[in-house]
């Protein structure tokens, strides 16, 4: 609790214990887990949860876990492609995607896929044919 209080004082953010849960390593004894949770105000133990839409524990390959990120970006960008947008509007939308993902360390392959997706959206297409990408 002292560590959490120090965090609150340092960051200016308050921790909502009603929305909080604890995740423990498999090496922590069940009795210890119960004791810790009761000292933290009877918070719940979570075995596999999500934070900002991503799994907290990665058990499979990163491609499997983060595949939905690629799919969501693809869906979002394809919805935007149906609209006539200025370059400024495109820039704002693309920055929104990158800012949302900037707090995660994503696999390089996924980053390249998303970058290609965004480049196709940025440069656009003319009569169903992709335009030249002027950046290497």
C-alpha dihedral sign at 74, 117, 98, 93 = negative
pLDDT over threshold 80, residue 52: no
pLDDT band at 11 (very low <50, low <70, confident <90, very high): very high
Model pLDDT, residue 42: 85
pLDDT over threshold 70, residue 114: yes
pLDDT band at 131 (very low <50, low <70, confident <90, very high): low
To the nearest whole percent, how much of the chain has pLDDT over 90? 15
Dihedral angle computed from the Cα positions of residues 108, 109, 115 and 119, in that order, rounded to the nearest 10 degrees: 150
pLDDT over threshold 80, residue 7: yes
- Mean pLDDT on 101-125: 80
């Amino acid at each position: 609790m002292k560590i959490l209080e120090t965090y609150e004082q340092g960051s200016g953010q308050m921790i909502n214990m009603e929305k909080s849960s604890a995740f423990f390593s498999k090496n922590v004894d069940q009795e210890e887990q119960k004791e810790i949770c009761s000292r933290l105000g009877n918070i719940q133990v979570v075995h596999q949860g999500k934070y900002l839409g991503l799994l907290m524990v990665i058990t499979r390959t990163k491609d499997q876990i983060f595949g939905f990120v690629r799919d969501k970006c693809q869906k979002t960008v394809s919805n935007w492609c149906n609209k006539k947008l200025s370059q400024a509007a495109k820039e704002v939308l693309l920055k929104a995607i990158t800012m949302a993902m900037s707090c995660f360390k994503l696999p390089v392959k996924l980053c390249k896929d998303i970058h290609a997706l965004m480049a196709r959206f940025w440069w656009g297409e003319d009569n169903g044919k992709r335009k030249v990408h002027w950046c290497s």
